[in-house]
């Protein structure tokens, strides 16, 4: 078909191709989930149904997009790490970000009932997203460590805060005052001495978030690539040595 006189408008579109040979990370985060979690009576501080639904929505993405190497989730956020050499959507930033965001969001809604059963979804949730590029393996590993350290800091605080309220019968402002200025060791002490809770025994998914990754496994002598969810300590360098093939790191 001949070009129309209107077609020049296409030239207004800007090129957003992401730099080659860099790690592409897409991080999604629930919009106003403080309110959304209240409106849907999420258990405090961790609702296992909500975390499992997040994991399942992320799993649908890994299942569909082979170029997503792994994903890390915690609270209302999920980070997707693409294979370094991916050419998906010609590495166009907006295409990658919007496809991930809309697929994740629709999966979250579509699979809601699987996890929340009769507790109905009251309104459509939204997730925002961003794309970040990391040039070196070290930067990417530090990114993963950063997100996991965030889980630890928040979860220890939230577990202490809600234990003081739910079991210690403090008001939220009293609990906040009690924790003001405390370091990790103090919070562990409060939980253990006053409530008999050993923080180390809390579920791994709460303490460490979830890493989804691909693993080759043998089924009836046939190699199969499956997606597994693990809650390992990524802050330890041992983890990255053990999984060096993941990023094709040199030993």
* Binding residues vs ligand DGT (CB under 6 A): 29-34, 37, 42, 44-47, 50-51, 75-76
Work out the end-to-end distance of the chain between its first and last CA atoms, rounded to an integer number of angstroms: 56
For the sheet with 23-30, list strands across it.
Answer: 127-134, 23-30, 77-82, 68-74, 210-219, 222-230
**Residue 139 phi, psi (nearest 5):** -60, -40
Part of the chain binding Mg ion (CB under 5 A), chosen from 74-82, 157-165, 178-186, 226-234: 74-82
Contact 134, 25 (CB under 8 A): yes
Closest approach, Cβ 151 to ligand DGT, in A, equals 11
Choosing from 36, 53, 62, 77, the residue that interacts with Mg ion (CB under 5 A) is 77
Q: Which of ligand DGT, Mg ion, none is residue 50 near (CB under 5 to 8 Å by kind)?
A: ligand DGT
Query: Is 30 a residue that touches Mg ion (CB under 5 A)?
Result: yes
Confirm or reject binding of residue 78 to Mg ion (CB under 5 A): no
Say which entry of ligand DGT, Mg ion, none residue 189 contacts (CB below 5 to 8 A, set by partner kind).
none
51 binds Mg ion (CB under 5 A): no
Q: Which of Mg ion, ligand DGT, none has residue 34 at its interface (CB below 5 to 8 Å by kind)?
A: ligand DGT
Task: Report the nearest approach of ligand DGT to the CB of residue 38 (Å).
Answer: 7
Write down the least CB distance from residue 21 to ligand DGT, Å: 31
* C-alpha distances out from residue 34 to 75, 149, 182, 194, Å: 10, 20, 24, 28
Tell me the closest approach of the beta carbon of residue 66 to ligand DGT, in angstroms: 29
Q: Which two tokens stand for residue 80?
A: 């997707």
- 39 alpha carbon, distance to own chain's centre: 21
Copy the structure tokens of residue 163. Answer: 């234990």
């Amino acid at each position: 078909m001949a070009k129309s006189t209107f077609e020049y408008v296409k030239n207004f579109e800007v090129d957003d191709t992401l730099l080659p040979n860099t790690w592409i990370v897409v991080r999604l985060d629930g919009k106003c989930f403080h309110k959304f979690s209240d409106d849907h009576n999420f258990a405090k501080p961790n609702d296992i149904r909500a975390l499992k639904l997040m994991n399942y929505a992320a799993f649908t993405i890994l299942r569909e997009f082979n170029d997503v190497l792994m994903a890390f989730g915690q609270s209302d956020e999920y980070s997707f790490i693409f294979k370094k050499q991916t050419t998906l959507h010609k590495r166009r930033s907006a295409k990658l970000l919007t496809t991930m965001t809309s697929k994740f969001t629709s999966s979250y809604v579509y699979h809601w009932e699987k996890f929340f059963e009769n507790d109905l979804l009251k309104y459509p949730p939204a997730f925002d997203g961003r794309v970040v590029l990391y040039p070196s393996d070290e930067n990417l590993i530090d990114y993963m460590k950063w997100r996991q350290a965030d889980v630890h800091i928040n979860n220890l605080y939230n577990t202490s805060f809600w234990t003081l309220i739910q079991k210690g019968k403090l008001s939220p402002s009293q609990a906040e005052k009690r924790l003001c200025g405390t370091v990790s060791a103090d919070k562990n002490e409060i939980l253990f001495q006053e409530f008999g809770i050993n923080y180390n025994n809390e579920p791994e998914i709460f303490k460490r978030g979830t890493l989804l990754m691909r693993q080759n496994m043998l089924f009836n002598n046939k190699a199969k690539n499956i997606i597994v969810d693990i809650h390992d300590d990524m802050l330890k360098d041992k983890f990255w040595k053990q999984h060096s093939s993941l990023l094709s790191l040199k030993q």
